[in-house]
Amino acid sequence: MPELPEVEVVRRGLERWVRGRVVARAEVLHPRAIRRHVPGAEEFAAQLKGRTIGTAERRGKYLWLPLDGTDAILAHLGMSGQLLVVEPDTALEKHLRIRITFADGGPDLRFVDQRTFGHVLVTPLAEAGGRQVPEPITHIAADPFEEHFDEALFARRLRARRTEIKRALLNQSLISGVGNIYADEALWRARLHGTRPAGALTGPKISQLVGAAREVMTEALAQGGTSFDSLYVNVNGESGYFERSLAVYGRRDEPCPRCGAPIVRESFMNRSSYSCPRCQPRPRETAA
């Protein structure tokens, strides 16, 4: 699933190509794509017609396009969602779910989603975490790149949790935008095993971990994000290439870039965790 850097790459593309444009028509080609827009496809299209799109925004893995008023188009890409900007005469994609055309006759905005796990809806905005965000995501915590991200508050809430540190990092109500890939990479940079108790971390160690998460996601953003297959692309259909720079994720049995020990893979919440057994030793209680 796309994480913060991949979604930010898409957001920047949307800001460049659709900001200030007036919607001529919205067409829903698959009802599942707007399953969370309860009023349905006709009302979705009616809500968008004639509206002007503002500056694209993001919180964690969610992005939205403010409309002229107090609402916005909210999108979550899911496992395979793509927001593409393409010329109107381009052939329709096989898995095209939503097509938005504009009054200026310029490039379309198309939502393509092979697996149809992503979704799009029009929703009111509400105050949350110091800014206006779409109502359905008011429970989502600020991400590490937001101006209003409160590291001290995050540290207090983290230490109050009786859970492992990796599980806490993936909890979007604590900190948003960090997924499985960047959690493993941040933990490696901070020399922490994912099973370390979150409540046992010191303030400086938490600060180091947050810094590591910011650092690795900044580097990923500079390289267009991480693409393991053709499903994650930017608005122009181009894949990112940070996968080449990952230190541990997906590197089972390869040497750790820091110490040379073989990277290990462990099962984690129906997924995989990757770590260095030397740089990131398991806590004694979990090692047993």
Residues 264-274: b if buried by 16+ CB within 10 A, e if exposed: beeebeeeebb
Residue 3 known to be catalytic: yes
One of 3, 8, 93, 164 is an active-site residue; which one?
A: 3
Q: Of the candidates 137, 123, 133, which has an alpha carbon nearest to the alpha carbon of residue 39?
A: 123
Residue 49 known to be catalytic: no
Torsion of CA 251, 218, 78, 131, to 10 degrees: 150
Q: Is 161 annotated as a binding residue?
A: yes
Return the DSSP state at 248. Answer: S
Q: How far apart are CA 65 and CA 73, in angstroms?
A: 5
Bridge pairing between strands 23-28 and 71-76: unpaired
Q: Which two tokens stand for residue 45?
A: 């299209």
Residues 112-142: b if buried by 16+ CB within 10 A, e if exposed: bbbebebbbbbbebeebbeeebbebbeebbb
Residue 124 known to be catalytic: no
One of 94, 244, 271, 284 is an active-site residue; which one?
A: 271
Residue 2 known to be catalytic: yes
Radius of gyration of the CA atoms of the chain, in A: 20
Q: How far apart are CA 73 and CA 225, in angstroms?
A: 23
Interior CA angle at 201 toward 199 and 205, to 5°? 150
One of 11, 21, 61, 110 is an active-site residue; which one?
A: 61
10 Å CB burial of residue 281 (0-12, 13-18, 19+) is middle
The residues that are catalytic are 2-3, 61, 271
Annotated binding site for DNA: 95, 115, 161
Annotated binding site: 95, 115, 161
